[in-house]
Copies of this chain bind each other. A is one copy, B any other.
Amino acid sequence: MKCEVVAIGTELLLGQIVDTNSSFIGEQLAMAGIDSHHQTKVGDNHERMVAVLRHALARSDAVICCGGLGPTQDDITRAAIAEVMGVELVRDEAIAERIRAMFRGRGRSMPENNLLQADVPEGAQINPAMPGTAPGLICPLTGEHAGKVIYAVPGVPWEMRQMLAEGVLPDLQRRSGFSGVIRSRILRTWGQSESGLAEQLDDEIRRLDATGDATIAFLASGWEGLKVRITCKAASEPEADAALDHEEAVIRRIIGDIVFGVDADSMESVVLELLRTRGQTLAVAESLTGGLIGSRLTGVPGSSDVFRGGVTPYDRDLKRELLGCPDVPAVSEEMAIAMARGVCRVLGADSGIAVTGVAGPTQLEGNEPGDVWIAVQHAGRTDSRFLKMPFDRERIRQFTCIQSLDFLRTRILASG
């Protein structure tokens, strides 16, 4: 059973709206165990829409059309589907009355063109869910495409999601006869390149290719690190979850503690949780990053019970005045260490992170852009590290942020 997605709307092609609907539908199809090999975006143009639908039906068993079901002239999905089905649009009086009733219910007078939404292709069924004024359509095909189906859902996300869950996915699973489940899990990693990870996991990937126990995919996410996605198919949820647990353990044995989290974990949420379970607090001194680390930490709900605060002594003198740092070069190991100790002392925190460096584009006191000193204070000990990054300003700051959080993470784990 193959189902593809066709997102309709010129505004999608112009990039005025990012097509998150197709991503959501694709994820739902995958979770439902339905193969989805193609997604297409096409504008509000009758001929092109018809051609795209015919091409999709030629290679897939089902097509989900998203958008173009509204009451305006450029909402032409109904007409395009009717042409592909080889039928006319007919006014569905029951739907027309539901639309009138919705407007009455909201105490609003109904512009006549809203009834265009009640004109559906002859032979189309109506999606049981109708949260808005646009009905969703289930359109079984005949002739050369007999046995195939086109679903039409609105582009309004909350309407689409309800129709997908209550009307489309159940119908698709009935048709596909697939009774199993598919589960995925993401391992978040930091500190290894995509090619390096692929080499480390090469044997395991070959083994899985042979056994089909699971599939592994890499998702490079820039300064968010590299994600390793494990996907398992099984007859039941418990079996799928057990297979995921097993495969996660295998992979962790191979790549070790570069895995910092799972699924929704972020580097900052993991660091906060490690300190929380140890009853410890955190403070940050950010010169280079100017508040980025604190901003990410405080983006995590409940961070206030671990994160005491931060100081950004961007001006040179403030490193001394606010944190009592000695008169050493602004970008130096001594300065980073003094900042880490200083911020823990001044803000009364158990652990501290300090960064100082050059974001560029120009040199600073003889240091190149990308030259960064990081220091972390934890369990009464201060460790420091030098980074040299051939990046632009934004990435130098972002990598420094994650790198410094990961530095503290590994120090916490090492200190038990």
Interfacial residues, chain A to chain B (CB-CB below 8 A) = 10-20, 22-28, 30, 36-43, 45, 48, 51-52, 55, 59, 70-74, 102, 105-108, 111, 113-114, 156, 158, 184, 186, 193-196, 198-199, 205, 217-220, 222, 227, 229, 284, 286, 288-295, 297-299, 301, 303-304, 307-315, 318, 322, 346-347, 359-361, 388-390, 392-395, 397
Contact = CB atoms under 8 A, between A and B. Distances in A.
A117 B30 CA distance: 30
Given A193-B111, A195-B72, A290 B312 contact: no
17 contacts: A13-B38, A13-B39, A14-B27, A14-B184, A37-B43, A38-B48, A73-B198, A73-B205, A74-B218, A111-B196, A156-B222, A286-B294, A291-B310, A294-B312, A303-B314, A308-B314, A309-B318
Given A15-B26, A292-B295, A347 B318 contact: yes
B16 A219 contact: yes
Nearest to A196: B111
Contacts of A37: 13, 42-43, 45, 48
A219 to B, nearest CB: 5
A190 B61 CA distance: 41
Contacts of A288: 298
A37 to B, nearest CB: 6
A63 to B, nearest CB: 14
A74 B218 CA distance: 9
Given A113-B199, A309-B318, A311-B311, 14 more contacts: A12-B23, A14-B30, A16-B219, A37-B45, A55-B55, A70-B194, A108-B193, A158-B222, A294-B312, A299-B397, A304-B315, A308-B314, A308-B318, A311-B322
A17 B39 CA distance: 13
A290 B395 CA distance: 20
Contacts of A48: 37-38
A312 B310 contact: yes
A356 to B, nearest CB: 12
Nearest to A38: B42
Most chain B beta-carbon contacts within 10 A, residue among A12, A72, A158: A72
A41 B13 contact: no
B309 A195 contact: no
Contacts of A158: 222, 392, 395
Nearest to A182: B14
A11 B43 contact: no
Most chain B beta-carbon contacts within 10 A, residue among A15, A18, A38, A106: A15
Contacts of A361: 301
B314 A290 contact: no
A279 to B, nearest CB: 15
A267 to B, nearest CB: 15
B23 A39 contact: no
A290 B315 contact: no
Contacts of A308: 314-315, 318
B301 A290 contact: no
Contact of A291 (B294, B393, B394): B294
Contacts of A45: 37
Contact of A36 (B13, B18, B22, B392): B13
